[in-house]
Chains A and B, each alone.
Chain A
């Protein structure tokens, strides 16, 4: 099956700093990637849809200036959490969509802001 990697798997940062999370589709090209946030015991919350070569589409309530998304190639999308605060601590998961519209998830990144 399709493989999606995410890096780093865990990151701890200080309040006010920025953190970049990478999402890569390893064995297929993904014109569309998605970024989700998941709170403990909650379902996935879609943050934004990332299309290669164009601006990301953010869901209502998600600050585009705080969560910067760059989909530079058909295999890489990055999410940068700028000026992180403790309330940004969460589990961030990316997924990549194949040409058959199946969606595969990365392993997730657990962000802790102190």
Chain B
């Protein structure tokens, strides 16, 4: 079966760095996405990785290792507004997104 695993909840301090991990087992792989979702709102696109390595975009970076079925989202210089759920999703061989359950990130001052 297809499976995406990510931690349910994480807590970090304002100004610090946090890494949210995602492991996956899917039928085929056509890329991995990270989305941010604030409570009561729809998800917003953060990043897309299809090749191994680190993609940096401002305070957010995303890493992929296809051989290990592993990705992480790295958030630097955390701000209170970063408190949200972070969803990992993998595009399978049919170009469908398989979703993780999301990681709720709590930022404390």
Contact = CB atoms under 8 A, between A and B. Distances in A.
Interface size class of B (residues with CB under 8 A): 20 to 34
A49 B91 CA distance: 14
A107 B44 CA distance: 9
Contact of A43 (B41, B45, B91, B102): B102
B95 A44 contact: no
**Chain B CB within 10 A, most for which of A43, A101, A108:** A43
**Chain A CB within 10 A, most for which of B35, B43, B96:** B43
Contacts of B91: 101
By secondary structure, the B interface counts as loop
A46 B2 CA distance: 14
A101 B45 CA distance: 13
A110 B41 CA distance: 10
A102 B97 CA distance: 10
A58 interface: no
Contact of B42 (A42, A97, A106): A106
A105 B37 CA distance: 11
